[in-house]
């Protein structure tokens, strides 16, 4: 479990395709504090640490993970958002994030909005019911608040602090981004769907 508050920006140092794809990720995390088998959220994807040494850790991604996320876009040198798993007693600064990606959306535009950047994202029809103005979403592992939603997609403001602490500082139109919908939105939508079905019976 995670909160969507990024604590490091890692760098992909190696990509080793095989039955599963292995990624070696450079990080400032203290490797002594990382347990083999631990979960680390890597740009919104919960991955299991399989090896480590000072300055790096490695994870593997299955074909299913590559198909359902933007990990297939990662290459040597790619920057990725990192978050360690939530511990009991930690401050919950963002929102509950599982690290299970619901879909990949594309950045359709980026414009300056004061000191912030206003990002626009595409929105697949199957995920549209779960995105609401002022609701929470997780994009590439970052807990963010939705500004507006319309038939063309949704918009989010990213403040200078978030730009500095995440990879959104270098994000651009056309980039593919991992999206995890808010678990509360998922259950509210499910309850609404069940109620509607009962009314038609």
Residues of the chain with pLDDT under 50: none
Domain harbouring 21, CATH code = 2.40.30.20
Confidence at residue 78, expressed as pLDDT on a 0 to 100 scale: 98
Distances in whole angstroms, Cα of residue 195 to Cα of each of 130, 186, 187, 189, 190: 16, 14, 12, 10, 9
pLDDT in tens, 19-33: 899 999 999 999 999
The answer to whether residue 33 sits within a structural domain is yes
Instruction: State the total domains in the chain.
Output: 2
Question: By residue range, what is the domain housing residue 57?
Answer: 8-84
Does 92 map to a domain? no
Say if 3 falls within a structural domain: no
pLDDT at res. 195: 66
**Is residue 48 in some structural domain?**
yes
Residues 150 and 72 in one domain: no
Q: CA-to-CA distance for 192 and 201, rounded, in angstroms?
A: 15
CA-closest candidate to residue 40, choices 54, 16, 23: 23
Same domain? 115 vs 165: yes
Q: What is the pTM of this model?
A: 0.91
Does residue 90 fall inside a structural domain?
A: no
Given this model, what pLDDT does residue 3 score? 93
Confidence (pLDDT) at 191: 73
């Amino acid at each position: 479990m995670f909160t969507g508050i990024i604590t490091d920006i890692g760098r992909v140092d190696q990509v080793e395709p095989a039955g599963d794809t292995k990624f070696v990720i450079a990080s400032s995390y203290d490797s002594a504090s990382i347990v083999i088998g631990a979960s680390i959220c890597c740009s919104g994807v919960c991955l299991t640490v399989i090896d480590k040494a000072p300055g790096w850790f490695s994870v593997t991604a299955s074909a299913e993970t590559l198909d359902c996320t933007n990990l297939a876009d990662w290459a040597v040198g790619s920057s990725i958002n990192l978050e360690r798993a939530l511990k009991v007693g930690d401050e919950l600064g963002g929102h509950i994030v599982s690290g299970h990606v619901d879909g990949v959306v594309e950045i359709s535009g980026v414009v300056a909005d004061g000191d912030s950047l206003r990002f626009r994202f595409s929105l697949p029809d199957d995920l549209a019911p779960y995105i609401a103005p002022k609701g929470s979403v997780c994009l590439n592992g970052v807990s963010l608040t939705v500004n507006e939603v319309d038939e063309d997609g949704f918009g989010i403001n990213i403040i200078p602090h978030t730009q500095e602490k995440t990879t959104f500082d270098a994000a651009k139109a056309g980039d593919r981004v991992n999206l995890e919908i808010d678990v509360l939105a998922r259950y509210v939508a499910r309850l609404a769907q069940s109620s509607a079905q009962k009314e038609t019976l």
